[in-house]
């Protein structure tokens, strides 16, 4: 006898990056920033500890107002959440009924199939293009009367490939307004390309769009768990209604507010990471390893047999994230960490 819904046994395991332990090993398996939280943000967190006996602001109003000003949208367009993954779960739970399908590119973020199954839906996977990007035509073709939502991840985790504004707006026009489209932009701060997606502009013509952002990556706050949705006010109202009460903790709210005062510093950090990403990708390319055009803080090495690369990485003192059968994802870190990536790649190609 099972106490839970039988379909939950289909949930694929989420494999977190290996936890640290050996301080000489650099963890490049979870796309975390090499830098800690900004000093001013750390100070705000330290100050907030004394008030932890109080519930946080239920709707994170100050943070929402600040994010609204930052994005040039009304304050009621912003819905903060306990990390953006919690928002993904809430959205999918709110749209799925038995028989619902959710279209995703594959391979993409491994949290999607889990959240879809928990919500009672079925994931419809559309293979990535050979270049590692979303096949938006095939995804639009997959939309049917059963479709509850389409997840779009740009830049895509784990390949790093990003959509252009033109590609995404054509897709949204083709899909129409009746199907929810969730655009996960966790890595948007690392995009340096021609015609980047201007997602907030798309809300004007596409009321079915929800944009997801997070403080976990560029803002170095993965451990605090804070993300948010940007949507038209009528959509945002439903997201607020289904939110976990007091879901965004007090320290996360004040840290995120403080982090938004440091956008120049954050930009310097992402500039460094993107420059390093380009350098690492170019060198990997020279070694003959297949690296798609990453617009994120990681690179993707396509290979069916991942173990030799994982072993080479371990010998060079880094942990990477293997997706056996598909490839290996490596976060771009400090200069020292990136040298280890290149050493591992040389060891791997020379074997």
Ligand X SMILES: *Cc1c(COP(=O)(O)O)cnc(C)c1O
Cα(34)–Cα(22) distance, rounded to whole angstroms?
Answer: 16
CB-CB neighbours of 118 under 10 Å:
16
Cβ neighbours for 47, distance < 8 A, ≥ 6 positions apart: 254
- Considering the complex, state which of residue 153 and residue 230 has its C-beta at the smaller distance from ligand X: 153
Q: Pick the piece of the chain touching ligand X (CB under 6 A) from 67-75, 212-220, 302-310, 341-349.
A: 212-220
Of 299 and 316, nearer to ligand X (C-beta) is 299
| Selected binder of ligand X within 29, 64, 84, 117 (CB under 6 A) | 84
SS3 (DSSP) at 137: helix
The residue (of 186 and 280) whose beta carbon lies closer to ligand X is 186
Determine if 83 is a binding residue for ligand X (CB under 6 A): yes
- For the CB of residue 66, give the shortest distance to ligand X in the complex, in Å: 17
> The tokens of 238 are what?
């439903």
In whole angstroms, the minimum distance from the beta carbon of 229 to ligand X comes to 11
DSSP collapsed to 3 states, 307-339 = HHHHHHHHHCCEECEEECCCEEEEECCCHHHHH
> Between the CA atoms of 146, 149, 153 and 159, what dihedral angle is there, to the nearest 10 degrees?
-20
Nearest-Å Rg of the Cα atoms of the chain is 20
Contact status: 203 vs ligand X (CB under 6 A):
no
DSSP string, 194-261: SSB--HHHHTTT-TTEEEEEESSSTTS-TTT--EEEEE-HHHHHHHHHHSPTT-S-HHHHHHHHHHGG
- Under rule CB under 6 A, which residues in 113-142 are in contact with ligand X? none
CA trace torsion 322, 327, 331, 332 (10° rounding):
140
The verdict on 295 binding ligand X (CB under 6 A) reads no
Q: With binding defined as CB under 6 A, does residue 253 bind ligand X? A: no
Site residues for ligand X, window 149-178 (CB under 6 A)? 153, 157
Taking the least distance from each CB to ligand X, the nearer of 248 and 250 is: 248
Interface residue with ligand X among 109, 190, 300, 348 (CB under 6 A) is 109
Q: Which is nearer to ligand X, 73 or 296 (CB)?
A: 296
Min separation Cβ 83 and ligand X, Å:
3
CB 86, min distance to ligand X, A? 6
- Is residue 298 at the binding interface for ligand X, with CB under 6 A as the rule? no
**Footprint of ligand X on this chain (CB under 6 A)?**
31, 83-85, 109, 153, 157, 184, 186, 214, 216-217, 222, 227
């Amino acid at each position: 006898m099972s106490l839970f819904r039988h379909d939950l046994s289909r949930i694929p395991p989420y494999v977190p990056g290996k936890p640290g332990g050996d301080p000489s090993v650099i963890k490049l398996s979870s796309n975390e920033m090499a830098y800690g939280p900004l000093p001013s943000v750390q100070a705000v967190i330290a100050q907030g500890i004394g008030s932890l006996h109080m519930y946080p602001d239920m709707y994170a109003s100050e943070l929402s107002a600040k994010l609204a000003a930052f994005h040039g949208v009304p304050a009621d367009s912003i819905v903060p959440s306990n990390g953006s993954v919690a928002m993904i779960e809430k959205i999918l739970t709110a749209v799925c009924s038995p028989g619902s399908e959710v279209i995703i590119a594959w391979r993409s973020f491994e949290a999607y199939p889990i959240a879809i199954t928990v919500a009672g839906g079925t994931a419809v996977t559309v293979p990535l293009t050979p270049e590692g990007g979303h096949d938006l035509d095939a995804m639009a073709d997959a939309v049917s009367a059963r479709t509850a939502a389409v997840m779009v991840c740009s830049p895509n985790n784990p390949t790093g490939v990003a959509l252009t504004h033109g590609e995404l707006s054509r897709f949204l026009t083709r899909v129409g307004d009746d199907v929810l489209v969730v655009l996960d932009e966790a890595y948007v701060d690392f995009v340096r390309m021609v015609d980047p997606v201007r997602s907030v502009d798309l809300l004007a013509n596409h009321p079915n769009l929800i944009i997801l952002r997070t403080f976990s990556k560029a803002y170095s706050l993965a451990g605090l768990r804070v993300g948010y949705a940007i949507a038209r006010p009528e959509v945002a109202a439903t997201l607020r209604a289904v939110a976990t009460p007091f879901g965004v903790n007090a320290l996360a709210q004040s840290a995120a507010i403080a982090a938004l005062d440091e956008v120049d510093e954050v930009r310097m950090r992402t500039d460094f990471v993107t420059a390093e990403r380009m350098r690492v990708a170019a060198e990997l390319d020279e070694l003959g390893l297949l690296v798609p055009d990453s617009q994120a803080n990681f690179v993707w090495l396509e290979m069916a047999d991942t173990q030799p690369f994982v072993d080479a990485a371990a010998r060079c003192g880094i942990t990477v994230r293997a997706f056996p059968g598909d490839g290996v994802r490596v976060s771009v870190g400090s200069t020292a960490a990136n040298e280890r990536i290149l050493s591992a790649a040389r060891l791997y190609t020379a074997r």
